[in-house]
Amino acid sequence: MTALRVEVALKAEADLGEGPLWDPASGSLLWVDINAGLVHRFDPLTGADHATGVGQSVGAVAPTLRPDTVVVAVRDGYGSLDLATARFRLIAPVEADVPENRMNDGKCDSHGRFWAGTQSLDHALSRAGLYRLELDGSVTPVLTDVSISNGIGWSPDDRTMYYVDTMTGGLDRLEFEPSTGSVRDRRRLVDIPPPEGLPDGLAVDVEGCIWLALWGGGVIKRFDPTGRLLSSIPMPVRYPTSCAFGGQRLDTLFITSAKRQMGEVLGGSLFAITPGVTGLLPQAYRGSL
pLDDT tens per residue across span 192-204: 999 999 999 999 9
- Nearest C-alpha neighbor of 129 from the set 80, 166, 176, 95: 95
Residue 101 reports pLDDT greater than 90: yes
Task: Give the SS3 label for residue 98.
Answer: coil
Q: What is the pLDDT of residue 4?
A: 85
Q: Catalogue all structural domains in the chain, each as residue range(s) with its CATH number.
A: 7-273 (2.120.10.30)
d(CA 283, CA 112): 6
Q: What is the pLDDT of residue 152?
A: 98
User: At 289, is the pLDDT very low, low, confident or very high (cuts 50, 70, 90)?
Assistant: confident
Residue 288 reports pLDDT greater than 90: no
Average pLDDT over residues 157-184: 98
Q: What is the pLDDT of residue 261?
A: 76
Average pLDDT over residues 111-138: 95
Q: Do the Cβ atoms of 202 and 151 come closer than 8 Å?
A: yes
Residue 123 reports pLDDT greater than 90: no
Average pLDDT over residues 273-278: 98
Q: What is the pLDDT of residue 177?
A: 98
pLDDT digits (tens, 9 = 90+) for 126-170: 999 999 999 999 999 999 999 999 999 999 999 999 999 999 999
Q: In what order do the strands lie in the sheet with 58-63?
A: 58-63, 69-74, 77-82, 88-93
As a whole number, the mean pLDDT across the chain is 96
Task: Name the strand (E) or helix (H) holding 196.
Answer: none
Q: What is the pLDDT of residue 2?
A: 57
Distances (CA, A) of 196 to 202, 256, 266: 16, 18, 20
Beta bridge partners of 152: 163
Q: What is the pLDDT of residue 263?
A: 75
Its pTM stands at 0.97
Average pLDDT over residues 198-217: 98
Q: Do the Cβ atoms of 73 and 118 come closer than 8 Å?
A: no
Q: Which residues contact 74 (CB under 8 A, 6 or more apart)?
A: 37, 54, 56, 57, 58, 59, 90, 102, 103
* Range from 115-119, 234-238, 244-248, 260-264 carrying the lowest mean pLDDT: 260-264
Q: What is the pLDDT of residue 139?
A: 98
Residue 209 reports pLDDT greater than 70: yes
d(CA 130, CA 181): 13
The DSSP output letter for 36 is T
